[in-house]
Amino acid sequence: MGIGDLTEFRLAGKTLYSLGLIKGTEGNLSTFDGRVLHITRAGACLFELTTDDVVEGTLDEPPPNASSDLRIHLRLYGEPDARAVVHAHPGGSVPEGWMEGQPHGIYVHGGSLEEAVGAAIRSTRTVHAVAFEGDVVRILDQTRLPNEEHYIECRTVDEVAAAIRRLAVRGAPVLGIAAAYAMVLAARGSAAPDRGGVLLDLDAAGRSLVDTRPTAVNIRWAVDRVRARATDAEGAEGVAEAVLGEARIIEREDAQACSTMGRIGRKLIPDGANVLTHCNTGMLCTAGIGTALGVIYSAHLAGKRVHVWVDETRPVWQGARLTTWELERLAVPHTLIADAAAGSLMAAGQVDLIIVGADRIAANGDVANKIGTYPLAVLARHHGIPFYVAAPTSTVDPATLSGASIVVEERDPAEVTRPLGLAVAPGGTPAANPSFDVTPADLVTAIVTERGIVHPPYDVGLREVAGERGTA
């Protein structure tokens, strides 16, 4: 058959089976490296593939005993960056009375089988935090989770900015994606008659978006990136098309980065590990499988039998409300703990490693992340536990030399005195509510990016991986 290693195919098949997306001989898989097509044969059981179950050919001369859906695989390889295709049968996706040759199930593609499986999971088991549909930025209101899946339809930059401010959408990578699509709204909604006027409106929109969350560098990064793309466009309509094209690329790159970080980072997680994480770093805050949670989920899919300790992450409870919601949907074993319990678990030897995300990483490796991250790093150092950060290179900010220069957002004190609307302090009690803290680089064991794992000295390693941000 010509394929030397079935690991990727077998892992993809077992994952689809374990999540109930296939059974029996349902579904099929393929990969294409630009020259050779590998595809599961008709009648193969994806969850117990043998060396005879994956056949080889080319797009022009595909193998004769390939999947009956071969033509769909071949068509999908005409899509940009398609290097793998997954066909699955989630519940309700096969019409009653279906006959061979009729449309059924779902077909998704990606840059690898792992990425395509992630896309299949997202389309069936999870939801998109942000989606651009027509002239609307559709945002899942994360303030209502886990009790209600409610979507906000934003038609103006101001509406997207308001959603960002009140944490309806949050998490560094997806904030960049939301900001990029808000810039599309600005370009399409501009009343300016010419290209120059539209660019000025984009500048104003960009400033309002950056002001919403000053600590999260991804917003400014995305705004600057789509604005730079718009500069090269011709005419007012050309500007809008260019901004939309770049926003789509940013979203696609983030999904790819998450898959790559997961595959790279899972090497750091031992078999049977108890992993502690903070805040929410999964599909709700990215276009893919997540950053830190993506690494954890990738390890879970690889059969590493992980268990996750989930910090509540007060005062907005992103861990309790969001991370547990995601892990439950993905069938990853987990236990919710009070933030204050983390140290005692480490002392008892029940934590093997900590992995968190980041909202901004300074050039020297200092990490700004959700408030409560810094104490975890200090505790990890005391107990000799690895402390890892997982973030795409878009979160690395070479212009910020150290954490001392990072502006820490101060949010409404009512989030502390009345968390989730419940009064826990006497009326009028003064409260401080810094949304982030900064963990010094010397407390960070390693930083996982889509371009590799960076070890100290971070000023050198981060410069290497972030040298050409946004072009991968």
Which residues are catalytically annotated?
A: 359
Phi-psi region of 81 (alpha: psi -120 to 50; beta: other; left: phi over 0): left
Q: Which residues contact 130 (CB under 8 A, 6 or more apart)?
A: 137, 138, 139, 140, 169, 174, 177, 178, 181, 287
d(CA 43, CA 62) in angstroms, rounded, equals 17
Q: Are 205 and 184 in contact (CB under 8 A)?
A: no
d(CA 192, CA 207) in angstroms, rounded, equals 18
Q: Which long-range contacts (CB under 8 A, 24 or more apart) does 46-52 make?
A: 46/9, 46/12, 46/13, 46/14, 46/16, 46/17, 46/22, 47/13, 47/14, 47/16, 47/17, 47/18, 47/22, 48/13, 49/6, 49/9, 49/10, 49/13, 51/1, 51/6, 52/1
d(CA 354, CA 458) in angstroms, rounded, equals 19
